[in-house]
Amino acid sequence: MHQFEEELTCSICYSLFEDPRVLPCSHTFCRSCLESVIQLSSNFSIWRPLRVPLKCPNCRSVVEIPASGTESLPINFALKAIIEKYRQEDHSDVATCSEHYRQPLNVYCLLDKKLVCGHCLTIGKHNGHPIDDLHSAYLKEKESSGKILEQLTDKHWSNVCLLIEKLKEQKSQCESIVQDDKKVVVQYFKKLSETLEHKKQVLLTALDEINRQILEEYEPHIEKQHKWKYFFNKSSTT
């Protein structure tokens, strides 16, 4: 956050001052914010006095606003000039709201746990949500994280260590089961290979036997025919 940004922010709307007006107690607020506060106060009154009492949102002092309204309150020209100059400068290092142009993210929404701008709280979707200033929110989050670390006592660490050992044991058991299954698969296919080899040899032997029988059946006939052929050839030449 810019070092002067907090001083340039209205404590009612949490946005940069718009038309800053000074109360008799010397505190400054947006004119529209004061109008809202006065309107809220007048809703509970059945008559309008010449001077409207108002409790300052900062110091809680009761001040009087003329019947003509906030228009008669003095303008904080010095603050207005500083804000105008601030808006003209480059503040690329300052985080701004993506929904409201150039409005700084200077408030922490406790409900949604995120940084928001003043317009998000007054006219945006965070209207009515519980809020906290950035410094307090940071300290609370830091304290909360510290408590979480404190809760990690020796007992918790022991439980974590036991869980790790149990997971390692289960991992080892699973790996052992896989290795045993691999041995079963290798043994199965080895036996299957031996069975197939035996069946192959049986079939080849059977086929060799059939081939021998074929030779025994046909060779004598072929030999006999060769003899007849030789006899007829010899007879024809004499």
- 133-165 pLDDT, tens per residue? 666 666 666 666 556 556 656 667 777 888 889
Q: Is the pTM of this model over 0.85?
A: no
- 169-210 pLDDT, tens per residue? 999 999 999 999 999 999 999 999 999 999 999 999 999 999
Give CA separation, 234 vs 104, 159, 227, 230, in Å.
128, 110, 11, 6
Q: What CATH topology corresponds to 5-88?
A: Herpes Virus-1 (3.30.40)
> Beta-strand (E) ranges in 79-193?
107-109, 114-116, 131-133
Listed by start position, the domains of the chain span: 5-88
- 105-132 pLDDT, tens per residue? 777 787 777 788 877 877 777 777 887 7
* pLDDT of amino acid 173: 92
One-letter amino acid for residue 11 of the chain: S
Rg (CA), the chain: 50
What number of residues does the chain have? 238
Please tell me the distance from the alpha carbon of residue 35 to that of residue 14, in angstroms, as a whole number: 16
Q: Torsions phi, psi of 168, nearest 5?
A: -65, -40
* pLDDT of amino acid 1: 42
